[in-house]
Structure 1
């Protein structure tokens, strides 16, 4: 943790005209179909700016960052005001569902500072399940993560409604609660997945919660691990249609 904290301080004092890295690039159109379980989270209605990213992990549960679905005090927004657009691509999406319940990681509510970012995870329970034959959920990783390469995906507020991502991200630092990664993220990537490809299938490794860098630009991604609490929340899912 100390190495990441030192990096936060170093990057924070860079001069304003220092070169900033590029955002995650758009995922090529031909590759987006394999990521339809990754979607955009919006508030109120689909015409409003996307607030975050989420990943369908069971037919009726989306994993995202807690700050995407709750205020700074940890009180959740009205679940019905949150809309999940699975596989959003412009005006199209593979499925659209409203929230029914928000479940916030209990440690997020009782920690402060950097530690809070490592528990910045929540589950959005959908008002009705998404058929798995339309949007197959992404399973959790099983076994050691390794150093990479890993994939980060998200809907960035500067490139609205188009999935962005990189597949060459590597682990700079790993603790029991978080990952420090070499790829850069920006506003809108919060809640997005960190994925690993195993035997032709994608597995969820972590959830992007914050970044290291300038407040207004891209920064190195920090991601929360999927702990036992998260796994318990997704063990029970509603049946599909």
Structure 2
């Protein structure tokens, strides 16, 4: 990225956590990418939401990100989303809530988190430098699985990522109450585990799935980590899943079933779903020079 400015895009919010509900594995109906760089649009109809309900909002009590159900009991997001945005201290698993398919105050499934797994090399205190962006993945172990009959997960891609255009589904600033989709995002650059794209980058998009269409089915190939300001404009940066998911899964299997840390901001919060900007007080992104 050279002298490009890099910004974390976890949305900083003051809100309470949501409580439990239901989801699992994903065989999506036919999906087609648009040609060129498509504009961002809200997923407002029931049919559209059904296609992408494995994507949800991850609430922490101090911030929110986007996350994706990849197995009945596993959610994938960006690692920096599980650390406090101002102190860089890890959240307790009990501080996190996953709201699958959240749309205007209603979630298709709501689950608390019981355990967090991040790559051992990930160091949040380094901020959004290029090396950490390439390791910015976290697995969240749900307190209770979401049945496949309720929500089918979006599976990680089983073959290498070769495509030049992808789709991103996300929650973000000023649209935190519903998911939006951006089709036909162009891959601008490839460097190690990081891909730069011309998708929109705003607060809250961190952790969003980068998806490809393979024979009519959506597969997760990367996770949005940060935004960068380049000489030609703003780009989004994503970390490839195929490089790290096996390591994450093996690490998760070896870990004891307990939270990674005590919360820096207190215990578990009361549970309810926030709609739109009703509880938003402060949303921001950090910019640094790597």
> Shorter-normalised TM-score: what interval?
0.7 to 0.9
Corresponding residue for 1:210?
226
SS in 1 for 2:237: strand
Q: Write the distance in 2 (CA, Å) between the matches of 1:229 and 1:148.
A: 21
More displaced stretch, 70-79 vs 35-44:
70-79
Structure 2 residue corresponding to 1:42, chosen from 41, 45, 59: 59
Kindly indicate whether the alpha-carbon contact (under 8 Å) linking 1:170 and 1:182 is maintained by their aligned counterparts in 2.
yes
Q: Write the distance in 2 (CA, Å) between the matches of 1:99 and 1:186.
A: 25
Corresponding residue for 2:116?
102
Corresponding residue for 2:97?
83
Cα deviation, residue 165, structure 1 = 1.9
More displaced stretch, 25-34 vs 90-99:
25-34
Q: TM-score, normalised by structure 1?
A: 0.80
Corresponding residue for 1:150?
166
SS in 2 for 1:139: coil
Kindly indicate whether the alpha-carbon contact (under 8 Å) linking 1:23 and 1:185 is maintained by their aligned counterparts in 2.
no
Structure 2 residue corresponding to 1:93, chosen from 82, 107, 113: 107
Structure 2 residue corresponding to 1:64, chosen from 63, 77, 82: 77
SS in 2 for 1:220: strand
Q: What does 1:1-241 correspond to in 2, within 5 Å?
A: 4-6=1-3, 8=4, 24-29=40-45, 30-44=47-61, 51-71=64-84, 75-109=89-123, 112=126, 113-213=129-229, 219-234=234-249
SS in 2 for 1:5: coil
- Taking structure 1 as reference, are residues 77 and 142 closer, same or farther at Cα in structure 2, changes over 3 Å only? same
- Unmatched 5+ residue regions in structure 2? 7-37, 254-290
Q: TM-score, normalised by structure 2?
A: 0.67
Write out the 4+ residue segments of structure 1 that deviate beyond 6 Å after TM superposition: none
- Taking structure 1 as reference, are residues 208 and 34 closer, same or farther at Cα in structure 2, changes over 3 Å only? same
Q: Write the distance in 2 (CA, Å) between the matches of 1:132 and 1:60.
A: 10
CA RMSD after TM alignment: 2.7
Cα deviation, residue 43, structure 1 = 2.3
Which digits, 9 at most, give the CA deviation of each residue in 1:59-112, with x for residues without a partner? 111110111111367642011111100011111111100010111111212894
Corresponding residue for 1:18?
none
Kindly indicate whether the alpha-carbon contact (under 8 Å) linking 2:189 and 2:196 is maintained by their aligned counterparts in 1.
yes
Corresponding residue for 1:14?
none
Decide which structure has greater helix share. 1
Which digits, 9 at most, give the CA deviation of each residue in 1:113-166, with x for residues without a partner? 221112111111110101011111111112232233200111102212110121
Kindly indicate whether the alpha-carbon contact (under 8 Å) linking 1:40 and 1:50 is maintained by their aligned counterparts in 2.
no
